[in-house]
Structure 1
Amino acid sequence: MKRFILSLILFSSFFISSPFSLAAQEQEVTLEEVVVTATRDAEEIRKIPANVTVIPRTEIERSNSQTVVDLLRTEGDVVVRDLYGHGKSASVDIRGFGETGPLNTLLLVDGRRVNEIDLSGVDWTQIPLDQIERIEIVRGSGSVLYGDNAAGGVIHIITKKPEKPLSIQADAMTGSYGLYKSGASAGGKWGPLSALLSASYQSTDGYRDNGFLRAKDVGGKFLYDLNENISLNLSGSFHQDDTGLPAALPRAIFEV
């Protein structure tokens, strides 16, 4: 499967200024966590009349998750069914819709829908975990704000945004069942302009016969800040994968 996505988004974000003291001694201030998915606007999470969970980058790094599907398994009211083990055809269900869970769970990446048009499913392998800044999960109907596929809830994945003049990262790992993952990214921020380019590769033989997966991803993001509240975002991604369809489990597994 090959997929190419290009989007141009104009959005505004509102920042909450922290209180300051006129005293000579500086005081440390903890800012309230801000989310954008529940109301399509930047709001403090404690002021939102909805069941919202935020998974920040620090928590993602502390987890043992290798994929987005693995990470979502740890969240309450989120049921994940992955028959093949590599996440490509995983079913994510919020609020107990069962078999129709994928039809009623909307996935956004930087505000863009990624649900399939035909059966409203999601190819979870197209979202590398190392490129995610945070994940916002809104439980309960979001159809009024987002339309189709949001009756159970909304999962909004927000990718990284460059903050330093220049940053280059690379990583690789291996595991059981022929697992191999590698990735690299380069990005930076120069005045109002910032850019990020990334590439990743994943390969696994799976724990079942013909359960292999080979996936390649390349992505880029360019941002230009018009002012403190408005910025232009141009992003694109390319995804290609080759996967097998595992056969039935052998009878010996079920024999005692």
Structure 2
Amino acid sequence: MGTNPTKIALLMSSLCSFSIIAPAMAADDISTAKIDEHVVVIGRSDNTPLNIAANVNVIDAAAIEMSGATSVTEVLRGQSGIQLSDNNMGTSFAMRGFSASTAVNNTLILLDGRRLNNIDIAAPSLNAIPLNQVDRIEILSGSAGVLYGDQAVGGVINIVTKSPENTGGSMQLSGGSFDTYEGRGDISGAINKDWRYFLTGSYNQGDNYREHNANETGSILGRIQYKTATDSFFIETSYYDDDRENPGSLTKAQFKANPRHSDNTQEYIHEMTTAARTGYQHQLNQHWALAADVDYSDTLVSSLNWGLIAKIRVQC
């Protein structure tokens, strides 16, 4: 039984054609797979997102707007994996199951990549950051102590503020029940080709549900920024004032009779924070840059709770 040379020739030609076409197809796949991806992870960048061993959740400006929140604290309150504990010294954030007493030491709070955690165990005042100033919030769940040092065992929360790149402004006014009123606004523009300015402020007041439970909160921030192809410089200052009445606790019988009632007429907590930041960066070449920044904050908290008068001042 002989071999048909025609069949052998056809088989060899099909194999040769496959070996020539296959590399061309692979090259096309590789070229289309090279997508210019850029992922920012808490102020750090990586061009290979598949190699990032971290769970990062980014809340952008659109999501913040849709949330209906009026403060940074309210935005974070609705995020899974974050536990909030309100106390007379502010709101503590806990991640990965740390208790409120250890949350401040194990959850790192950053503002534009700069630490907000106080040198003592006092919680950083996030409400001092106007919500209409926030561009996005980055949440890194899991220990990041290797990258960011101490106080990052539970995770990292980085609040990225807006930069005055555009000219314009906005204003929002709202009102609600219990004599609640709120106003927020911002404006930005160019002084000349290299210098820009940004000003934002917010105000909120309300009687709230309980008797002797009114609050009056206001904040203002101003920034001047200089930027060229190789140099950038900014200086900003802000002031935050939060005055709240404390309605106190109720017994079960008092709650059934009138849940809005309050026996307190004097107790309160008043927090005032003044902060200033400045930073400079010079781009040496495509890969190297020199940068320096200086932060200052002065927080004064006075309160009358459970018959005790307290006044605490934290400067850093």
TM-score, with normalisation over the residues of structure 1? Answer: 0.74
Deviating more after overlay: 73-82 vs 151-160: 73-82
Percent of aligned positions with the same letter in both sequences?
35
Q: How far apart are 1:138 and its partner, in Å?
A: 0.9
The equivalent of 1:161 in structure 2 is 163
Change (3 A) 1:252 1:32: farther
Gaps of 5+ in 1: 1-29
Relative contact order higher in (CA < 8 Å, ≥ 6 apart):
1
2:232 maps to 1:231: yes
- Give the secondary structure class of the aligned counterpart of 2:44: coil
Richer in helix (by share)? 2
Q: Is the 8 A contact 1:125 1:215 kept in 2?
A: no
Q: How far apart are 1:249 and its partner, in Å?
A: 3.0
**In the aligned structure 1, how far is the partner of 2:205 from the partner of 2:144?**
35
Q: How far apart are 1:213 and its partner, in Å?
A: 2.3
Gaps of 5+ in 2: 1-34, 258-316
Match of residue 39, structure 2, among 31, 34, 43: 34
2:62 maps to 1:58: yes
The equivalent of 2:82 in structure 1 is 78
**Letter paired with 1:69:** T
The equivalent of 1:16 in structure 2 is none
The equivalent of 1:97 in structure 2 is 98
- Give the secondary structure class of the aligned counterpart of 2:104: helix
Q: Which residues of 2 match residues 104-253 of structure 1 at below 5 A?
A: 104-164=106-166, 166-189=167-190, 190-227=192-229, 231-252=232-253
**Letter paired with 1:35:** V
Change (3 A) 1:253 1:150: farther
Change (3 A) 1:48 1:212: farther
Q: How far apart are 1:210 and its partner, in Å?
A: 3.4
Change (3 A) 1:31 1:57: farther
**Letter paired with 1:240:** D
**Letter paired with 1:241:** D
Change (3 A) 1:253 1:91: farther
Change (3 A) 1:159 1:253: farther
TM-score, with normalisation over the residues of structure 2? Answer: 0.62
- Give the secondary structure class of the aligned counterpart of 1:62: helix
- Give the secondary structure class of the aligned counterpart of 1:90: strand
**In the aligned structure 1, how far is the partner of 2:208 from the partner of 2:220?**
23
**In the aligned structure 1, how far is the partner of 2:244 from the partner of 2:82?**
25
- Give the secondary structure class of the aligned counterpart of 1:42: strand
Q: Is the 8 A contact 2:132 2:200 kept in 1?
A: no
Q: Is the 8 A contact 2:132 2:186 kept in 1?
A: no
The equivalent of 2:261 in structure 1 is none
Q: How far apart are 1:150 and its partner, in Å?
A: 1.7
Q: Is the 8 A contact 2:132 2:185 kept in 1?
A: no
Q: How far apart are 1:31 and its partner, in Å?
A: 6.7
**Letter paired with 2:158:** H
Q: Is the 8 A contact 2:41 2:56 kept in 1?
A: no
- Give the secondary structure class of the aligned counterpart of 2:90: coil
Change (3 A) 1:245 1:157: same
**Letter paired with 1:178:** D
**In the aligned structure 1, how far is the partner of 2:239 from the partner of 2:193?**
28
Q: How far apart are 1:129 and its partner, in Å?
A: 1.4
Change (3 A) 1:186 1:213: same
Q: How far apart are 1:199 and its partner, in Å?
A: 1.4
Change (3 A) 1:147 1:244: farther
Change (3 A) 1:176 1:250: farther
Change (3 A) 1:80 1:31: farther
